[in-house]
């Protein structure tokens, strides 16, 4: 489908600078855009590309004033990134939607599955499972006994949802993710072996949660592992048994949260962050990539490093580490001078 700058500006509430009739049929990154595509400039670090991009249309902020000629027609908006998101949603909605039930699938007689769902081939839906309206369940998905899934949920290929777990409305679970596998619970025995502790709890995903590919969320030993409304987890995230993740918290790839830890609302975790078990992380906490959190964290903190400390303190420590080589050299020189002075005094 093609859209003119005039149509796009009308949809986004933007102002046009340039040819209002120019057409685009695709979106592209600003440094890679070609004629017939629309791009955007949101991060000032990419400003240089607005003068070299071959895109036909570019979304920019209302206060942007080019310092030299540009090729694309400009559409000035309040927030180019948010506007780009709206355009991507339009493109996604324009794609063809699968419907119906492919073969072969197994749907237990006691399961509740509405007529408007899509179920891909080789899917298994267990006894007493409940699937909500408008769900898209792609091939090779396993939905265990007594699972409850809300409306408009998307389960991509290979997702596994173990027995008894609950998924809210409008959730998206990407390929290979596992919801409700056993928590890592083993009791040490006198002979040095470990006895498995039965994990009889469940996992609860509230509404509007999205899980990246190959993310795992363990079922609780007792009670529930809970991922609150609006949480977004990247690929390869591990959430252990009895963890609670607060509303609208986001975690980048390879984050690991140990058992029984409580994470607050509106937190942001960089990639490969690790949190020890039985900890409490407050609300609005920002954690830098590869940080380790062995202790509780108060609300509204920005931390990084291992052990994680306030960002300013971490920066100070980094400066000190960089000075260690020179400091060591200075100490050796002082030791040498001291030895020389001792000889002179003798």
The pLDDT > 90 percentage for the chain reads: 85
Does the structure show a pLDDT above 70 at 51?
yes
Does the structure show a pLDDT above 90 at 318?
no
pLDDT value of position 346: 79
pLDDT value of position 340: 86
Average pLDDT over residues 211-220: 98
DSSP helix/strand/coil, 12: helix
Count of CB atoms within 10 A of residue 66's CB?
13
Average pLDDT over residues 179-199: 96
Give pLDDT tens digits for 249-295: 999 999 999 999 999 999 999 999 999 999 999 999 999 999 999 99
Kindly calculate the radius of gyration of the chain based on its CA atoms and give it in whole angstroms: 27
Active site residues: 241
Which CA distances in Å does 234 have to 107, 161, 238?
A: 30, 18, 10
Average pLDDT over residues 17-31: 94
Q: How far is CA 238 from the centre of its chain?
A: 12
pLDDT value of position 96: 65
Average pLDDT over residues 45-71: 95
Average pLDDT over residues 117-131: 97
Average pLDDT over residues 312-326: 85
DSSP lists the bridge partners of residue 166 as 148, 204
Spatial CA neighbour of 59 closest among 112, 2, 11, 1: 11
pLDDT band at residue 75, thresholds of 50, 70 and 90?
Answer: very high
Spatial CA neighbour of 209 closest among 182, 184, 237, 183: 237
DSSP for 127-148, please give it.
TT-EE-TT-EE-TT-EE-TT-E
Copy the structure tokens of residue 249: 């918290």
DSSP helix/strand/coil, 23: strand
Does the structure show a pLDDT above 90 at 319?
no
Q: How far is CA 14 from the centre of its chain?
A: 30
């Amino acid at each position: 489908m093609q859209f003119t700058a005039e149509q796009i500006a009308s949809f986004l509430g933007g102002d046009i600078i340039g040819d209002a009739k120019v057409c685009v049929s695709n979106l592209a990154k600003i440094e890679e855009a070609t004629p017939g595509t629309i791009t955007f400039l949101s991060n000032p670090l990419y400003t240089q590309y607005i003068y070299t991009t071959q895109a036909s249309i570019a979304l920019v902020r209302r206060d942007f004033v080019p310092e030299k000629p540009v090729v694309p027609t400009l559409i000035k908006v309040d927030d180019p990134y948010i506007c780009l998101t709206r355009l991507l949603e339009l493109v996604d909605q324009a794609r063809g939607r699968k419907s119906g039930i492919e073969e072969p699938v197994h749907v237990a007689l006691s399961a509740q599955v509405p007529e408007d769902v899509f179920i891909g081939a080789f899917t298994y839906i267990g006894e007493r499972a409940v699937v909500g309206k408008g769900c898209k369940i792609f091939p090779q998905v396993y939905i265990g006994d007594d699972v409850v899934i809300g409306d408009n949920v998307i389960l991509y290929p290979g997702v596994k949802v173990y027995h008894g777990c609950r998924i809210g409305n409008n959730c998206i679970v990407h390929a290979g993710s596992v919801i409700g596998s056993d928590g890592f619970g083993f009791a040490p025995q006198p002979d040095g072996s470990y006895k498995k502790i039965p994990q009889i709890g469940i996992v609860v995903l509230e509404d509007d949660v999205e899980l990246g590919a190959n993310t795992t969320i363990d079922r609780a030993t007792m009670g529930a592992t809970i991922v609150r409304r609006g949480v977004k987890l990247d690929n390869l995230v591990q959430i252990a048994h009895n963890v609670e993740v607060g509303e609208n918290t986001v975690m980048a790839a390879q984050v690991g949260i140990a058992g029984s830890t409580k994470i607050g609302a509106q937190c942001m975790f960089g990639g490969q962050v690790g949190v020890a078990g039985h900890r409490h992380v407050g609300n609005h906490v920002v954690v830098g990539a590869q940080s380790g959190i062995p202790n509780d964290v108060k609300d509204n903190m920005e931390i990084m490093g291992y052990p994680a400390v306030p960002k300013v303190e971490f920066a100070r420590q980094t400066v000190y580490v960089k000075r260690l080589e020179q400091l060591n050299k200075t100490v050796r020189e002082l030791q040498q001078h001291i030895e020389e002075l001792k000889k002179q005094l003798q």
